[in-house]
Amino acid sequence: MNPSTAAPGSQASLREANRLRVVEALRDQGAMTQVEIAGFTGLSPATVSNLVKDLDAAGAVELEPSIRNGRRAVLVSLATGNTLLAGIAFGDRDVRVAIGTGPRDIIGRQRMPLPADHAADEGMERAVRLLLDLVEKAGKTMGDVRAVGVGIPAPVDRVSGQVGSESILPGWRGVAVGHEMAGRLQAPVDVDNTSNLAALGELRCGVLQGVQHGVYIKLSHGVGAGLILDGDIFRGAAGTAGEIGHLTIDENGPVCRCGNRGCLETYIGSRGLLESLAASHGPLSLRDVIHRALAGDAGCRRVLEDAGRHLGVAVAGVVNLVNPEVVVLGGQLSKVGSIITTPMRASLERCAIPSAAASLEVRMGELDTDADVIGALVSAGALLPANEGVLATAGITS
């Protein structure tokens, strides 16, 4: 037993636990005002004020004057020194990288396009190049990057660390992404599905804050979901939960890249949408479809409305099974707003259990297409040892 540890149930142990809550909140959320810390932790403003004074005296936090909602405020952040986190999110056609001291304190970000069906080596090489460039521009070194979160747009087997499907993201088949990236970056790496990371980003820093049971649906070139149960990401037994894009909508429908027929993705993924418009509109990109639909193009609007109806059927199945409080739509296609959400709601109300549909709120993502990168930074922060840096400096045990 450590003789310096406060006795359980004592006033000292309660104060130590509350200090740890404040530190963990700052590590998860980044810089916050004392009012925001109180709201996030549930501690009283007076308690937070005293704890911040203690942490400041211990050199564990930094205080910086700021303006919030037009009023003067003091931002409280962890005294991170040279510690940086990195987030990497691979898409079907690009890779995005960000560095920061936390998910709300991003100091640099970059994006680089990737060819469709790219190989893992090519994708990882470009990601490493972007990260090295960001670190150099920030006047840091790779030794300052203490942890990295990586997202890939495919189910991730949390046991093997490999893509959990041989037909989805075939260029990454058999690659232990976490091991490979850790070797390239010389830092601990956590790998997850980008939809899970986007859900995590919205849960910690966006529209899902405070939600206990929710679903985040990422609508882009493909379709994926992140499930939130009891206030945390639910990944299932092997880490592959949330593959809403491969729910069967029509067992006699078109063949999907996963090998099944009639998956949701064949109807609302970019390939299906663009094929539906090819005869009338010629070759288009997903970005073109979104812009034209918002500008009033009848054909593009019709295809996206049909996608919304199919999405509503799939979401109704998830709602019947999980009974979430909130469903959040994110990704590129969410930008069309009511063009998709209105028919989605109609299908949802028709197909879901009435009481489950009545208690459900549909929201749009708050973090836009950065949700997965921000979630990757959150997951990177979780890799840091609990006693690293600030906790040790503050004399807090865990």
For 22-59, what is each residue's pLDDT tens digit?
Answer: 888 887 777 889 999 999 899 999 999 999 998 888 77
User: Residues 184, 217: one domain?
Assistant: no
Q: Are residues 184 and 272 in the same domain?
A: no
Q: Do residues 175 and 105 both lie within one domain? A: yes
Residue 255, in any domain of the structure? yes
Q: What CATH number should be reported for the domain holding residue 178?
A: 3.30.420.40
Same domain for 187 and 248: no
Residue 44, domain member (yes or no): no
**Are both 284 and 338 inside the same structural domain?**
yes
pLDDT band, very low/low/confident/very high, at 10 (cuts 50, 70, 90)? low
What amino acid occupies position 214?
A: G
Q: What is the pLDDT of residue 118?
A: 86
Kindly list the distances between the CA atom of residue 178 and the CA atoms of 85, 132, 182, in Å, as whole numbers in the listed order.
Answer: 15, 18, 6
In a domain, 37, yes or no: no
Angle between helix 298-322 and 286-294 (nearest 10): 100
Whether 69 maps to a domain, the answer reads no
pLDDT of 391 > 50? The answer is: no
Report d(CA 216, CA 381) in Å as an integer: 21
What is the rounded end-to-end Cα distance, in angstroms, of the chain? 14
The per-residue pLDDT for 211 is: 94
Number of domains in the chain: 2
Mean pLDDT of 273-292: 95
Has residue 28 been placed in a domain?
Answer: no
Higher pLDDT, 390 or 276: 276
Is-contact 86 131, C-beta < 8 A?
yes
Same domain, 188 and 329: no
Chain segment 213-252, per-residue pLDDT in tens: 999 999 998 899 999 999 999 999 888 899 999 999 999 9
pTM of the entire predicted model:
0.80
Same domain? For 161 and 224 the reply is no
Asked whether residue 194 falls in the same domain as residue 214, the answer is no
Residue 395 lies in a domain: no
The 10s digit of each residue's pLDDT in 137-161 is: 888 889 999 999 999 998 888 778 7
Assigned domain for 142 exists = yes
Question: In this predicted structure, what is the pLDDT of residue 4?
Answer: 40
Q: Provide the edge-to-edge strand list for the sheet that holds 326-330.
A: 232-234, 223-229, 214-219, 326-330, 361-364
Same-domain check for residues 268 and 349:
yes
pLDDT of residue 81: 61
5 is a domain residue: no
Mean pLDDT rounded to a whole number for the chain: 88
Same-domain status, 223 and 125:
no
Q: Check whether 312 has a pLDDT greater than 90.
A: yes
68-85 tens-digit pLDDT: 777 888 888 877 666 789
Q: Are residues 169 and 211 in the same domain?
A: no
Residues 212 and 344 in one domain: yes
CA distance 342 to 38: 37
- Domain containing residue 244: 207-365
